[in-house]
Structure 1
Amino acid sequence: MHVMVPAFIGVPGGMELMIILAIVILLFGANKLPELARSSGQAIGEFRKGQEEIETEIRGAETSEQVSDEQEAA
């Protein structure tokens, strides 16, 4: 007889999220939650900004590489 074991842990559902939220409130306190959310949002914004800058640099390098290849071929 074979027992099926899931290969990964699923995304937490409603009850699990409520438990996690309750633990966060106990750890940080209700007064600190807005500050925590604000700083998390700012960190995510900075991460996305950095990601966009890197993607722009990569695209620029690819474009200049293609131009130099075309000039060598001509």
Structure 2
Amino acid sequence: MFGSFGWMELLLILIIVLIIFGAGKIPQLGEGLGKAIKGFKKSVNEADAIDVTPPPADAPPPGPQPQVSQPQSNPSTGAPVQQGQQIKQG
């Protein structure tokens, strides 16, 4: 039947499961197991259906884009501040 399991071994396993969980919990366990298997199959099928075509060459790469900072200007002179210079507020 199931490889090397005979009907006596399966009966023993069923009796042990009934003792541990009780007769009331068995349908709930079966329902939960069925939902888990159904969800797994659904996710596998959805993963196969995803379009895996590469993006066009001129498209930006996925993920967060680097932020470009605007150049600062000196409030007293209006001239742009070079990198490494500090703005003196006065």
TM-score, with structure 2 as normaliser = 0.51
For structure 1, the residue ranges without an aligned partner over 5 or more in a row are 1-9, 69-74
For the aligned residue pairs, the C-alpha RMSD in angstroms reads 1.8
Q: 1:33 aligns with which of 22, 26, 31?
A: 26
- After TM superposition, the structure 1 = structure 2 runs for residues 48-63 of structure 1, keeping only pairs within 5 Å, are 48-57=41-50, 60-61=51-52
Question: Which structure shows the bigger proportion of residues in helix conformation?
Answer: 1
1:33-70: CA deviation from partner (whole Å, max 9, x where unpaired)? 1111111111111011011111222xx32xx46xx9xx
- Runs (4+) off by over 4 Å: none
- Alignment size in residue pairs: 53
Identity across the alignment (%): 40
For structure 2, the residue ranges without an aligned partner over 5 or more in a row are 57-90
- After TM superposition, the structure 1 = structure 2 runs for residues 1-74 of structure 1, keeping only pairs within 5 Å, are 10-57=3-50, 60-61=51-52, 64=53
TM-score, with structure 1 as normaliser = 0.61
